[in-house]
Amino acid sequence: MSSDEVAESAIYLSLGSNLGNREEQLSRALRLLEAHGIEIVTCSSLYRTDPLYVLDQPHFLNLVCEVSTRLSPRQLLDSCLAIERQLGRTRRIQKGPREIDLDILYFGQAIIEEPSLVVPHPHLGERNFVLVPLVEIAPEFHDPRSGLTIAELRDRCQDQSGVEAVGRLEW
């Protein structure tokens, strides 16, 4: 298998938090992913990001990680939702404040369209808080819908919200 094939089969998750001890929430989420049989291959830097859509809320801490798992996309989603529940996520307002948020960005080159699971994530191309950390770890990954690389998606993104690297997360 070539390195291009390995890269194109990668699974990417986005993690974010803007309530409570954000760094601890993200660290715990990464540890829980591993406890669910989801190996963390690499993580981006930690980014302080402006809220998007609902502006009257605290800033977020976000990161993107590449993972490896034998789970199906549905099982991975179920694990992510279970981790959110375990870490106390309460869904108050859509796109509003949250203790933790885990999203599947890509599951290799799979295109999945189900009522509760859409992969690639349908809004990732509109979001600096996803694209900037994803460019850090996978600039040449090709989006299966557009054929563009992540770097090209970032260059075309209209989102002007702030995204600032603030270090690395220990977990």
Total residue length of the chain:
171
Question: How high is the pLDDT of residue 54?
Answer: 66
Of 146, 117, 121, 144, the closest CA to residue 131 belongs to 121
- Judged by DSSP in three states, 132 sits in helix
From residue 36, alpha-carbon distances to 50, 69, 75, 83 in Å are 30, 9, 10, 9
> Greater confidence, 53 or 84?
84
Residue 6 has pLDDT above 50, yes or no: no
The pLDDT-based confidence of 92 (bands split at 50, 70, 90) is low
The total domain count for the chain is: 1
- 8, 36, 75, 103, 169 from 81: Cα distances, Å: 25, 12, 10, 9, 21
Q: Which of 98, 127, 143, 156 is catalytic?
A: 98
Choose the catalytic residue: 22, 48, 70, 89: 89
CB neighbours of 49 closer than 8 A, spacing ≥ 6? 16, 59, 60, 61, 62, 128, 129, 161, 162, 163, 164
What CATH number does residue 82 fall under? 3.30.70.560
The whole-number average pLDDT for the span 114-127 is 92
Active-site position among 31, 50, 56, 101: 101
Structural domain harbouring 74: 3-167
Residues 6+ apart with CB under 8 A from 149: 139, 140, 141, 142, 143
The per-residue pLDDT for range 19-36, each reduced to its tens digit, is 899 999 999 999 999 999
Catalytic residue of the set 103, 154, 155, 159? 103
Annotated catalytic residue 56: no
C-alpha 149 chain-centroid distance: 16
Is 101 catalytic? The answer is: yes
